[in-house]
Structure 1
Amino acid sequence: MSANIRKIAVFVEETHREAGRVIAPARRKAVAVAVIVNPFAGEYVEDLTPLMDIGAELGALLGKRCVEALGITPVQAQSYGKAAMVGENGELEHAAALLHPKMGAPLRVEVEKGAALVPSSKKMGGPGQDLDVPLGHKDAAYVRSHFDGIEVRLNDAPRANEIMVAIAVTDGGRPLPRVGGLTHEEAVGEDGLR
């Protein structure tokens, strides 16, 4: 792997009760985070291809970690998302290089299919700052019950010359969805929209 990884952390959030009601089975979200050295911290570089290649590696690694943490098969994954936080010596374009050109395809392999765009967010930040990872249905963007997110924070990342990269995967939508629209069961997933 070309990424210089300082640490990886994986978290699973389970919701068992919501609004006084039992959620069965519990709704689960996994988020896998890698803290990497930013190879371009402190300098302007025109060609960000090395970060794009690292994004592909992390898409596979972190997507697989999420699926494993949930204890599901790839086809059972229902939602996904990605996010990156760049330390103060980097720039937002470094996060974009990681997230956009090459991360999606390897992530889709780990969750089987993934016809819809992978929701994403990027920001500048420092150690202990929250990173919100948006979530959307992996095959059909119009499945409203799966519009969601998960927050992740590491007390020591990202440092000034680092980037914190996160991928999240779920095995269901929000608990007690009631805003209508296309359901997971109705989704066809051919065009990424419905």
Structure 2
Amino acid sequence: MQDHPWLRKLVLYREAVLTEAGLAPAIPAERASVAAVISNPWLGTGPREDLSPAVSELAPRLAKLVTDRLLQALGGVERIEAFGKAALVGSAGEIEHGGALIHTPYFGNLVREFLGGESIICFADARTDAGQPLVVPLWHKSHAATRSHYQTVDVRIPDAPRADEIVVVAAASTGPRPHPRIGDRTTDPVITSQTLEGVLS
């Protein structure tokens, strides 16, 4: 990656759910994540450091890099139904360094656009040692209240993030959880403690 000297490696994870509870799902779904392991551009700076110059330079490139590979892995934007994002910061950095790369329009808006979504993107972030796992939540890219698409992807890179690195992740799914059957917010009854008085007593 000569155009990205700050990039150490890319990690692609992909899975296809073929059967669940002994039965093939009505809508077989694939899930994937792409993780970019980069050097932390703010290493050694203090808590008053303005992060925005590096954000505007780096975050859009990361958004394009990870979503391009996510689209390749899952067969194109029209197949993707759910998405999520994440950042893991090495122990020498601040949790804000990860947030700077995934929580600004320079990343989030572009990931949403490239993956054809409308919803706010759910996320996870953490400061961690190399090899620690992170659970990345996903939800529907256009209808966040669609409960069938609430699912997760596990991300773990054995040698990352090193203390001076950040891992930036985009994840997606081509469909819902296997055999979704817990209803949806649009059809839920109105539930309060008063309506459940007999259950709660």
TM > 0.5 fold call:
yes
Amino acid across the alignment from 1:10 = L
1:77-96 to 2 correspondences below 5 Å: 77-96=80-99
Q: Residues 92 and 3 from structure 1, CA distance in 2 versus in 1: closer, same or farther, beyond 3 angstroms?
A: farther
Amino acid across the alignment from 2:112 = R
Report the counterpart of residue 32 of structure 1 in structure 2: 34
Mapped partners of 1:175, 1:182: distance in 2: 18
CA RMSD of aligned residues (A): 1.7
Mapped partners of 2:143, 2:86: distance in 1: 20
Amino acid across the alignment from 2:14 = V
1:90-109 to 2 correspondences below 5 Å: 90-101=93-104, 102-109=106-113
Report the counterpart of residue 161 of structure 1 in structure 2: 164
Identical aligned pairs, as a percentage?
A: 38
Mapped partners of 1:63, 1:69: distance in 2: 10
Q: Which of the pair is proportionally richer in strand?
A: 1
Task: State the Cα distance separating 1:2 from its structure 2 match.
Answer: 6.0
**Structure 1 alignment gaps of length 5 or more:** 184-194
Report the counterpart of residue 177 of structure 1 in structure 2: 180
* 1:132 match: secondary structure: strand
Mapped partners of 2:24, 2:59: distance in 1: 38
Structure of larger gyration radius: 2
Q: Deviations over 1:64-105 (max 9, x none)?
A: 21111012x212210110000000110010011001112122
Structure 1 runs, 4 residues or longer, greater than 3 Å off: none
1:133-148 to 2 correspondences below 5 Å: 133-148=136-151
TM-score by length of 2: 0.84
Amino acid across the alignment from 1:108 = R
Mapped partners of 1:41, 1:142: distance in 2: 38
Which of 115, 122, 126 is matched with 1:119 structurally?
Answer: 122
